[in-house]
Amino acid sequence: MELPQRVLCIIIIPVIIFIATEGVSRANDDWQLNDTPPEMTDDEEAALGKQVDDYIRYQFYVEDDPEFNEAVDNIVQKVAAVSDRNTLSFTCTILQSPSINAFSAPGGYIYLTYGLLKFAQTEDEVAGIVGHEVAHASLRHASKLYHEIMEILSHQDKGIDDAASLLLLNSHLEEFEQDADTTGVFYAHKAGFNPTGLLDFLERHFALLMRRRMFGMPSYGATAMIGTRLNHLREYISNLEKKE
């Protein structure tokens, strides 16, 4: 069975920090994924991550400034080194997109948009975002969801049922994001960064989303979910600081 492009989109969606509302810069729309087995070992997870990486690099223009990439990669490696899966070879790709977005793929692949890095004000904020994505990889969120999607596909003759897919996403998205928030903050803090970095970034981005909502974008669901995450994150950071 050929792995549908829609499966890839669903794998990526749960590990997105923010729902992008701006346009993106795409290089090509013709690329297709190859077949991938439904059950993943570590090696199969890495292989799926490579497929996603190939797809992303074919679809989007990639930032090739060596100094810019090195500066971001230094933060990634510091955070990844203290993670629970520090044996993974984490890589970070900067996408030439104005959207404020970050996501990850199985096997240690992390993607940050130029718009996100431009919006970030400190290294602590970037470290918090990176920690969030490293946490997704450490907690195997994309791999867990992928397995469930393949289970759905195994009982379908044609593609993915939209209702089942949305139900699956909704049941996991908030849990995955909150887990990645708190675990990612812990990683960033452990790597020597200010644990409030992610919260600072999210609060500013939430304010931006609310301003846009006044003009009809984005949806209430997106802003409500971020609001819930902010409250959860504030409580976690407060408890983290009390322990010091």
Q: What is the pLDDT of residues 148-174, one digit of tens each?
A: 666 666 666 555 555 655 565 566 677
Q: Is the pLDDT of residue 243 over 50?
A: yes
Q: Which amino acid is at 89?
A: S
SS3 102: strand
Mapped to the 3 state alphabet, what secondary structure does 161-210 carry?
Answer: CHHHHHHHHHHHHHHHHHHHHHHHHHHHHHCCCCCCHHHHHHHHHHHHHH
Percent of the chain at pLDDT > 90 equals 41
pLDDT for the residue numbered 154: 63
Average pLDDT score over the chain: 78
Percent of the chain at pLDDT > 70 equals 67
Confidence of residue 27 (pLDDT cuts 50, 70, 90): low
In whole angstroms, give the CA distance from residue 18 to residue 16: 6
Are 8 and 33 in contact by the 8 Å Cβ rule? The answer is yes
The more confidently predicted of residues 46 and 129 is 129
In whole angstroms, give the CA distance from residue 52 to residue 9: 10
SS3 92: strand
Here the tokens at position 46 are 């890495």
- Is the Cα dihedral 47, 86, 172, 10 positive or negative? negative
SS3 36: coil
